[in-house]
């Protein structure tokens, strides 16, 4: 039985060609003020999120809804391709750079099953549900299914980064969120093409899917190799940071120009670059590039959610009267079905293979881990960007069928998964009894201990050869011995400090005295501001070395 007639989900009028523009009617707020308001709201919500210890992506979603209710804001029409081209590459690339290749490879089987097979299964089920409940064509259903089938890498990272859970769970969630983007967006392109042309061949699409995926991998490897070759020949952090910001765009546009997966090219380029970066990048480059990337991802995420908020009134107005409530009901059904499909898939693929074996070996993956991964299927900015990229009109000039309901439904699904599932993750982790295995801390302690022991051994060799002054040797030996003693100390696995507590406390106090003295000299005009900033930078670096980020 249909939820309602498909005509209820058709737009009232033709929105016209998709261009980036504000409506020409007089608005209480101009476009410049609107951008400023969006950025201020994003910053304020991030501050509140940190204070109440809630992932900022959740509050941004709520903020987008609140923003849509403010009267007098301009209506923005976004060029569909602009969303893909501007937002997606830099949002996906950092997650690929920072993923552990060793852990990714070790969990490749569950990651690929979830990122490919589960995405296709979810897309098919949701497409059938969408078609049955709205009466819109199957191809439109697959457009929507492809949009919301992949969990989002940025949303998963923002929600799980503060969870104290085993590293294996985080790796699987991160790996799935990276690879599934390629699967879903390739499928999304095929589904949109089917709507635009009215023709679709499963065999041809399957062969093209393999070609597009293989081509995306090849392009990604080529761009990743090229990026590393450029970076290791430079020693100019501002220029290198600019190249790092351009790398995901180069990978994406290269893939798209060759008619292969630009998203997969971005992912592969990021993984390759992340593996090579520790050897080719200088410390100055890493210290400067990381804050830039954090800011870029934060701003793009925030602006994306604000933009969808600004479009919600236009979308709801375009729907037939009474359709908003039906869309909300449909969204609840879609989220429920997605959760059920994910749970069925996770438990089926994890435990059914073991039931068929005669040995009936004990499953090493606890059911609590499986349940937590199944529940953490958060949708986010990637789905949002793809929804905004749905064309406004068909080649015939008619409106794209169901575009407004797709956009509204996508936002509702993101809202439901981020807010409901995101806010319940912490209590569910406690209820399931899932605790951190401290694998990263153990590896970190071991690596730091071996590195400091190797350095101390080299220092002793230099001393025996009398290649350095005794007082210099003594100062360095004292520091390394203190660190090694701290790393060898019995106690909790986590490493809260690199030096002994009394050393850090005294060193921080002395650095504070240095900083205040230099500022006083500047205030007395004994030194210039340029001299102050040079000295202050050295003091800040020394302080950052002592105080590990919590």
Tell me the pLDDT band of 491, cut-offs 50, 70 and 90. Answer: low
Exposure string (b/e) for 439-476, b if CB count within 10 Å is 16 or more?
A: ebbeeebeebeeebeeebeebeeebeeeeeeeeebeeb
Q: Is pLDDT above 80 for 24?
A: no
Tell me the pLDDT band of 155, cut-offs 50, 70 and 90. Answer: low
Query: Any residues with CB less than 8 A from the CB of 251 and at least 6 apart, and which?
Result: 89, 93, 219, 220, 223, 224, 262, 265, 266, 268, 269
Tell me the pLDDT band of 143, cut-offs 50, 70 and 90. Answer: very high
CA distance 509 to 38: 40
| Rg of the Cα atoms in the chain | 27
Q: Is pLDDT above 60 for 362?
A: no
Q: Is pLDDT above 60 for 312?
A: yes
pLDDT value for 18: 39
Question: Who has greater pLDDT, 165 or 236?
Answer: 236
DSSP per position, 451-475: HHHHHHHHHHHHHHTT-S-HHHHHH
Tell me the pLDDT band of 223, cut-offs 50, 70 and 90. Answer: very high
pLDDT value for 466: 76
Q: Is pLDDT above 70 for 60?
A: yes
Mean pLDDT for the chain overall:
81
pLDDT value for 77: 64
pLDDT value for 327: 82
Predicted TM-score (pTM) of the model is: 0.80
Q: Is pLDDT above 80 for 344?
A: yes
| Owner of token pair 């100062």 | 475
Q: Is pLDDT above 70 for 328?
A: yes
* Cβ atoms of residues 212 and 186 within 8 Å: yes
Q: Is pLDDT above 80 for 144?
A: yes
Residue 310, SS3? helix
pLDDT value for 99: 85
Which one of 73-87, 157-171, 182-196 scores highest in mean pLDDT?
182-196
pLDDT value for 255: 93
Q: Is pLDDT above 80 for 372?
A: yes
Averaged pLDDT, 283-287: 84
Q: Is pLDDT above 60 for 122?
A: yes
pLDDT value for 30: 57
| Owner of token pair 């071996």 | 450
pLDDT value for 434: 86
For residue range 159-189, what is the model confidence (pLDDT) as tens digits? 666 677 888 888 888 888 888 877 888 888 8
pLDDT value for 32: 64
For residue range 508-533, what is the model confidence (pLDDT) as tens digits? 888 889 889 999 998 988 888 888 88
Q: Is pLDDT above 70 for 355?
A: no
CA distance 344 to 123: 15
Q: Is pLDDT above 70 for 46?
A: yes
CA distance 324 to 48: 30
Averaged pLDDT, 262-277: 92
Averaged pLDDT, 185-212: 81
Residue 112, SS3? helix
Number of helices (H) and strands (E) in the chain: give both, helices first.
Answer: 22, 2
Q: At residue 393, what are phi and psi to the nearest 5 degrees?
A: -130, 155
Question: Who has greater pLDDT, 448 or 365?
Answer: 448
Tell me the pLDDT band of 334, cut-offs 50, 70 and 90. Answer: very high
| CATH 3.40.50.360 describes domain 79-297+325-432 | no
Tell me the pLDDT band of 497, cut-offs 50, 70 and 90. Answer: low
Question: Who has greater pLDDT, 103 or 13?
Answer: 103
pLDDT value for 490: 65
pLDDT value for 459: 87
Which residues of 255-398 form beta strands (DSSP E)? none
* Range scoring the smallest mean pLDDT among 206-215, 399-408, 484-493: 484-493
Question: Who has greater pLDDT, 198 or 399?
Answer: 399
* Range scoring the smallest mean pLDDT among 4-13, 28-37, 410-419: 4-13
């Amino acid at each position: 039985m249909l939820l309602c007639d498909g005509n209820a989900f058709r737009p009232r009028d033709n929105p016209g060609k998709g261009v980036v523009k504000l409506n020409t009617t007089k608005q209480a707020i101009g476009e410049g003020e609107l951008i400023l308001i969006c950025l201020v709201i994003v910053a304020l919500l991030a501050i509140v999120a940190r204070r109440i210890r809630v992932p900022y992506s959740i509050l941004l979603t709520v903020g987008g809804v609140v923003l849509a209710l403010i009267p007098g804001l301009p209506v923005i029409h976004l060029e569909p391709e602009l969303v893909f081209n501007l937002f997606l590459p830099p949002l996906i690339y950092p997650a690929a750079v920072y993923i552990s290749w060793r852990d990714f490879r070790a969990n490749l089987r569950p990651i690929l099953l979830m990122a490919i097979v589960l995405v296709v299964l979810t897309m098919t089920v949701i497409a059938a549900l969408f078609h049955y409940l709205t009466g819109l064509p199957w191809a439109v259903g697959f457009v929507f299914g492809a949009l919301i089938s992949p969990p989002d890498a940025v949303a998963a990272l923002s929600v799980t980064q503060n969870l104290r859970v085993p590293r294996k769970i985080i790796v699987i969630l991160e790996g799935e969120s990276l690879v599934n983007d390629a699967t879903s967006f390739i499928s999304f392109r095929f589904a949109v093409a089917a709507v635009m042309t009215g023709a679709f061949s499963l065999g041809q699409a399957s062969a093209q899917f393999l070609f597009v995926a293989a081509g995306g991998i090849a392009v990604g490897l080529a761009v990743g190799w090229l990026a590393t070759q450029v970076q290791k020949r430079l020693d100019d952090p501002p220029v290198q940071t600019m190249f790092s910001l351009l790398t995901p765009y180069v990978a994406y546009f290269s893939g798209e120009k060759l008619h292969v997966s630009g998203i997969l090219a971005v992912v592969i380029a990021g993984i390759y670059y992340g593996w090579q970066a520790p050897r080719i990048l200088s410390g100055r480059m890493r210290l400067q590039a990381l804050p830039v990337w954090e800011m870029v991802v934060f701003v793009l995420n925030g602006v994306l959610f604000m933009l969808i908020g600004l479009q919600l009134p236009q979308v709801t107005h375009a729907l037939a009267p009474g359709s908003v409530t039906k869309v909300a009901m449909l969204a609840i059904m879609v989220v429920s079905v997605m959760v059920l499909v994910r749970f069925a898939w996770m438990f089926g693929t994890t435990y059914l293979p073991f039931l068929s074996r005669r040995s009936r070996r004990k499953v090493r993956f606890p059911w609590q881990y499986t349940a937590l991964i199944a529940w953490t299927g958060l949708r986010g900015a990637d789905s949002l960007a793809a929804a905004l990229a749905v064309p406004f009109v068909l080649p015939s000039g008619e409106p794209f069928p169901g575009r407004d309901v797709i956009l509204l439904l996508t936002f509702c699904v993101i809202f439901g998964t981020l807010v409901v599932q995101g806010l319940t993750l912490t209590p569910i982790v406690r209820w399931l009894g899932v605790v951190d295995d401290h694998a990263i801390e153990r590896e970190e302690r071991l690596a730091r201990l071996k590195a400091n022991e190797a350095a101390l051994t080299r220092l002793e060799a230099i001393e025996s050869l009398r290649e350095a002054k005794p007082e210099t040797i003594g100062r360095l030996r004292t520091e390394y011995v203190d660190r090694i003693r701290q790393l060898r100390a019995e106690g909790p696995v986590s490493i809260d400090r690199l030096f002994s507590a009394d050393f850090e406390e005294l060193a921080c106090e002395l650095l504070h005295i240095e900083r205040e003295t230099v500022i006083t000299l500047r205030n007395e005009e004994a030194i210039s501001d340029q001299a102050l900033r040079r000295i202050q930078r050295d003091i800040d670096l020394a302080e950052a070395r002592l105080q590990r980020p919590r």
